[in-house]
């Protein structure tokens, strides 16, 4: 049994264009920046949001569809700004070129050339077009060629932008015929516990816990704090123009790391028979956070939602279903079947200790076991008795990929790599 779902994937390409077209595209992205900032200005003046697009479209030197897309993006940013204003979110005005957002066959077009290359035509300004050939990852080019020739794929919106001085086009494509196995047919449930500096995974079958893994990414927390400090310093120095540059670099760095971690999660899940990935539904988490300004800022920057999203859509493209459970008590409950106490448990950093049965474990792995158990119950399984758990292995993401860390052996072991790259202490 399968559920047909529309799967969306973003394909990134470089634009091979002539110098005149580069100048035109650069001018258009600066015009898009002005549209974006004017939208922010009017929104702050309490102009009715439904009227902003009409007012700006009359003055902007852009294709009307592109103007409407940029305005919509700015209003989304303002909505987010108003929601989290107390947590050091910027005003969302920008100083550099801003991406041109366009609909397929309205603001841009794609065709297959004679030598199987993909040619593009972008309406940078009214009656002025940027043309050339797409360059990039072979896998992305193959998907785009398939989308141009197959009824199963639909090409959607795209963004033309500058990255590191190079013009790029990011194209969204949708496969309406891709199928994902019904989660009720699953034979393995993978519980996922996302934290500030790691993600813990536990694979649970009807025979018990198959394996556990903790993927560490402490560099994300470190980089977020570093960029926060840098922004504060430039603001105090009165150099607000640098703010957007720093924010953009931070977000690109975090997004790159999260994509790599999510890819690792999906690859790990593929080894298990008919896996279903289970996440905690943390949508209401922000509303319940109130631990003081500094801790609120850290927790509001948790990457859990982005990592869940990246993992979910990558899993979907591999035919792996996902499910969501109520996160209540997953971090507080002892995972053993013959215990499951919540009130007599103690957590100190990454160590979980149950004062009732005396068991100690990696705190995040313990939570991932509870997530997997809740996921199994949601699938109407008879959850197997868990009277003991296997040791958990940890890995840390490096620029070159995943690096094994020492196996965690609770309750008292302290292990460290001696090569200076990483350390694990439980």
The number of beta carbons lying within 10 Å of the beta carbon of residue 32 is 29
Decide if pLDDT at 375 tops 80.
yes
64: confidence class by pLDDT, cuts 50, 70, 90 = confident
Confidence of residue 182 (pLDDT cuts 50, 70, 90): confident
Q: Of the ranges 275-284, 291-300, 306-315, 329-338, which one carries the lowest mean pLDDT score?
A: 291-300
Is the model more confident about 57 or about 118? 118
Average pLDDT over residues 318-333: 90
Q: pLDDT band at residue 87, thresholds of 50, 70 and 90?
A: very low
Residue ranges of the chain assigned to CATH 3.30.420.10 = 180-425
Average pLDDT over residues 391-398: 80
Q: What is the mean pLDDT of residues 2-25?
A: 81
Residue 250 has pLDDT above 80, yes or no: no
Cα angle for residues 380, 307, 234 (degrees, 5° grid): 155
pLDDT of residue 188: 96
Mean per-residue pLDDT, 416-424 = 29
Q: How many CB atoms lie within 10 A of CB 104?
A: 17
Please give the average per-residue pLDDT across 93-120, as a whole number. Answer: 89
pLDDT in tens, 125-153: 999 999 999 998 887 888 899 889 888 88
Q: pLDDT-derived band of residue 243, with 50, 70 and 90 as boundaries?
A: low
CATH architecture of 180-425: 2-Layer Sandwich (3.30)
Percent of the chain with pLDDT over 90: 36
Q: What is the dihedral of CA 192, 288, 348, 294, to 10 degrees?
A: 110
Region of poorest pLDDT, from 83-92, 135-144, 178-187: 83-92
What number of other Cβ atoms are within 10 A of residue 307's Cβ?
24
pLDDT of 74 over the 50 cut? yes
Closest CA to 202 of 190, 188, 214, 216: 190
The model's pTM is 0.62
Whether pLDDT at 248 is above 70: no
- Confidence label for 208 from pLDDT (cuts 50, 70 and 90): very high
DSSP of 318-340: TT--EEEE--TTTTTS---TTT-
Q: How many Å apart are CA 363 and CA 346, to the nearest integer?
A: 9
Rounded mean pLDDT of 170-190? Answer: 87
Q: What is the pLDDT of residue 413?
A: 30
pLDDT on residue 407:
41
């Amino acid at each position: 049994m399968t559920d047909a779902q529309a799967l969306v994937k973003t394909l990134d390409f470089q634009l091979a264009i002539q110098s005149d077209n580069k100048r035109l595209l650069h001018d258009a992205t600066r015009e898009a920046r002005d549209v974006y900032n004017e939208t922010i200005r009017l929104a702050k003046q309490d102009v009715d949001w439904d009227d902003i697009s009409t007012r700006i479209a009359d003055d902007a030197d852009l294709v009307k569809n592109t103007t409407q897309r940029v305005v919509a993006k700015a209003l989304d940013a303002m909505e987010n700004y108003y929601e989290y204003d107390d947590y050091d979110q910027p005003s969302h005005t920008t100083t550099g070129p801003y991406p041109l957002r366009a609909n397929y066959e309205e603001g841009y077009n794609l065709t297959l050339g004679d030598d199987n290359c993909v040619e593009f035509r972008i309406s940078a300004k009214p009656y002025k077009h940027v043309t050339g050939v797409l360059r990039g990852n072979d896998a992305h080019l193959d998907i785009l060629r398939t989308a141009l020739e197959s009824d199963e794929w639909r090409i959607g919106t795209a963004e033309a932008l500058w990255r590191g001085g190079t013009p790029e086009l990011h194209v969204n494509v949708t496969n309406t015929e891709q199928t994902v196995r019904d989660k009720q047919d699953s034979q393995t449930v993978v519980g996922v516990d996302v934290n500030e500096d790691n993600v813990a995974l536990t694979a649970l079958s009807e025979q018990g816990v198959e394996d556990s893994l903790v993927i560490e990414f402490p560099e994300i927390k470190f980089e977020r704090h570093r960029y926060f400090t840098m922004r504060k310093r430039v603001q105090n120095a009165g150099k607000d123009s640098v703010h957007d540059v720093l924010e953009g670099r931070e977000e690109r760095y975090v997004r790159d790391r999260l994509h790599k971690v999510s890819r690792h999660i999906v690859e790990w899940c593929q080894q298990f028979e008919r896996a279903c990935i289970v996440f905690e539904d943390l949508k209401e988490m922000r509303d319940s956070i109130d631990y003081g300004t500094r801790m609120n800022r850290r927790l509001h920057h948790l990457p859990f939602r982005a990592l869940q999203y990246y993992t979910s859509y990558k899993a979907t493209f591999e035919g792996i279903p996902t499910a969501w459970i109520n996160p209540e008590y997953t971090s507080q409950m002892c995972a053993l079947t013959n215990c499951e106490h919540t009130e007599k448990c103690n957590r100190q950093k990454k160590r979980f200790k149950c004062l009732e049965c005396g068991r100690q474990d990696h705190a995040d792995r313990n939570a991932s076991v509870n997530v997997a158990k809740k996921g199994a119950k949601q699938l109407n399984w008879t959850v197997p008795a868990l009277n003991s758990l296997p040791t958990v292995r940890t890995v840390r993401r490096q620029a070159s990929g995943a690096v094994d860390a020492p196996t965690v052996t609770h309750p008292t072991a302290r292990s460290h790599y001696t090569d200076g790259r990483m350390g694990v202490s439980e």
